């Protein structure tokens, strides 16, 4: 029996086939019955015909049986074919620049009074960037950027950002514009990090600070190496204590009170932990007593779980960020960039691009120390005039986006009937 495709056979079936072959082989050597022996001289061929399996498969099984470890009772041990699953690889790994392009693509639909869906966004995004991912991949990216489906007045569903992200963006833009409109004399200092691959096993990470007034802040560079794909290695070297020490060093090197603009992620790393608050397993009486001291009203009929929810609300209000407290104590003000809004930081959008280009042109070695030297030279090559130009572009973008937010808010107000951030991220589009 011939087969055009290789057959996958389980170990138990292989064992039976091998036993048939062994029996035919034994008959082929039986000298007392020469006619029978002659008939089974081609044992593999006869096994193929008897079992209905291709000769190639029989040869493969007999070869495996000859090499397989012997089991004293049952003979050779065979293996079953390993099941393979073709898992879909989602194209969700896009950089910060492309994330900004994607978010603005969704916003363009809002601005034109259209209803964006993942299919529409995917089509537009592909036109702009040549993105090769599927609609499922696009949905995953949009979800990571805090977009979900919301209901319209006519029953249709369309993509919209979560309210907390919109609020954070509007508050950030409003604060930055107010600084400039009120002619605030304080310099605006931006903080960010740069990653430079040194080899396949390591990368150089540089934290820095700079402004349009002085360029990079003197002695504010923090440098360390870690494995590219190891978050554990990164967190061992870059933790809340290191961030805090580096932040204090920057403030000490500033010549005057300043406005510090930093990533939301770093900000959330360093908090002053509240003490002496009741835990979830505390008695109801202790939780009630703590709430009375804090001046929180509650009903005597509320359960311990309901009371603890009130405790969490108090904690969230009283929770303080240590970096913010440090900045205030040194005459500075801390401003957070919303998550995934790197376009508002000139270091991310312009400075690092120039530094990387300069580094690629200058660097001719794989030696880590020489690479550091090349990176430092590239950093030093950024002039104050370039800093001013990049910061001006960034501030113009902040202003334009703030104007769009106001117009967008009016458009969306008339078409949204629900603002539930927990709406399903799936939709038939």
The answer on pLDDT for 46 being more than 90 is no
**pTM, to two decimals:** 0.68
- 263's enclosing H/E stretch is strand 258-263
Least confidently predicted of 78-92, 112-126, 235-249 = 78-92
pLDDT class of 253 with cuts at 50, 70, 90: very high
The answer on pLDDT for 50 being more than 90 is no
- 207's enclosing H/E stretch is strand 202-211
Least confidently predicted of 78-92, 104-118, 157-171, 392-406 = 78-92
The answer on pLDDT for 306 being more than 60 is yes
The answer on pLDDT for 98 being more than 50 is yes
Which bin fits 397, alpha (ψ -120 to 50), beta or left (φ > 0)?
alpha
Residue 2 is predicted with a pLDDT of 44
Residue 216 is predicted with a pLDDT of 94
Query: Where do the domains of the chain lie, and which CATH numbers do they carry?
Result: 1-85 (no CATH), 92-161 (1.10.10), 182-404 (3.30.420.10)
Tokens in use for 1? 């029996």
Any idea which residue has 């919109």 for tokens? 166
DSSP assignment of 143-203: HHTTEEEEEBTTS-EEEEE-HHHHHHHHHHHHHHHHHHHTT--SEEEEEEEEEEEEETTEE
Per residue in 326-351, pLDDT (tens digit) is 899 999 999 999 888 989 999 998 99
Per residue in 363-397, pLDDT (tens digit) is 777 788 888 888 899 999 999 999 999 999 999 99
The answer on pLDDT for 425 being more than 60 is no
In whole angstroms, give the CA distance from residue 260 to residue 209: 9
Tokens in use for 84? 């393979």
Residue 172 is predicted with a pLDDT of 94
Q: What is the mean pLDDT of residues 73-81?
A: 74
- The Cα-based distances of 398 to 103, 147, 211, 262 in angstroms read 15, 21, 16, 15
Tokens in use for 118? 């993942």
Centroid of chain to Cα 156: 30
Terminal-residue alpha carbon distance, the chain: 50
Tokens in use for 73? 């009772």
In whole angstroms, give the CA distance from residue 50 to residue 225: 65
Which bin fits 130, alpha (ψ -120 to 50), beta or left (φ > 0)?
left
């Amino acid at each position: 029996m011939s087969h055009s495709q290789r057959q996958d056979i389980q170990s138990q079936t292989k064992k039976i086939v091998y036993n048939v072959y062994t029996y035919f082989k034994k008959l082929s050597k039986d000298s007392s019955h020469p006619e029978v022996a002659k008939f089974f001289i081609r044992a593999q061929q006869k096994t193929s015909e008897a079992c209905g399996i291709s000769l190639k498969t029989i040869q493969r099984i007999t070869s495996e049986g000859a090499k397989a470890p012997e089991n004293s009772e049952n003979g050779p041990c065979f293996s079953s074919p390993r099941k393979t699953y073709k898992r879909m690889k989602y194209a969700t790994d896009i950089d910060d620049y492309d994330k900004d392009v994607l978010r603005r693509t969704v916003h363009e639909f809002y601005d034109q009074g259209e209803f964006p869906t993942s299919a529409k966004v995917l089509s537009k995004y592909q036109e702009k960037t040549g993105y090769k991912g599927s609609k499922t991949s696009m949905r995953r990216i949009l979800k990571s950027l805090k977009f979900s489906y919301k209901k319209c007045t006519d029953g249709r569903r369309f993509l919209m950002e979560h309210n907390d992200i919109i609020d954070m963006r509007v508050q950030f833009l409003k604060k930055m514009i107010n600084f400039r409109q009120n002619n605030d004399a304080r310099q605006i200092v931006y903080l960010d990090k740069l990653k430079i691959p040194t080899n396949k096993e390591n990368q150089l990470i540089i934290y820095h600070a700079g402004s349009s007034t002085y360029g990079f802040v003197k002695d504010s560079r923090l440098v360390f190496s870690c494995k590219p794909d190891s978050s554990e290695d990164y967190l061992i070297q870059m933790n809340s204590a290191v961030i805090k020490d580096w932040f204090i060093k920057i403030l000490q090197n500033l010549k005057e009170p300043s406005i510090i603009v930093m990533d939301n992620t770093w900000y959330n790393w360093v908090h002053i932990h509240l003490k002496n608050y009741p835990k979830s397993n505390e008695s109801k009486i202790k939780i009630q007593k703590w709430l009375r001291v804090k001046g929180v009203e509650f009903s005597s009929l509320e359960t311990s779980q309901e009371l603890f929810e009130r405790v969490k609300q108090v904690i969230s209000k009283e929770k303080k960020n240590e970096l913010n407290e440090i900045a205030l104590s040194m005459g500075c003000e801390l401003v957070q960039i919303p998550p995934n809004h790197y376009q508002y930081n000139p270091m991310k959008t312009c400075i690092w691009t120039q530094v990387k280009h300069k580094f690629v042109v200058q660097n001719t070695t794989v030696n880590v120390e020489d690479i550091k030297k090349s990176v430092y030279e590239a950093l030093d090559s950024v002039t104050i005039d370039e800093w001013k130009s990049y910061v001006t572009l960034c501030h113009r973008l902040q202003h334009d986006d703030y104007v769009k937010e106001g117009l967008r808010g009016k458009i969306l107000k008339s078409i949204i009937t629900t603002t539930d951030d927990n709406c399903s991220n799936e939709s038939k589009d």
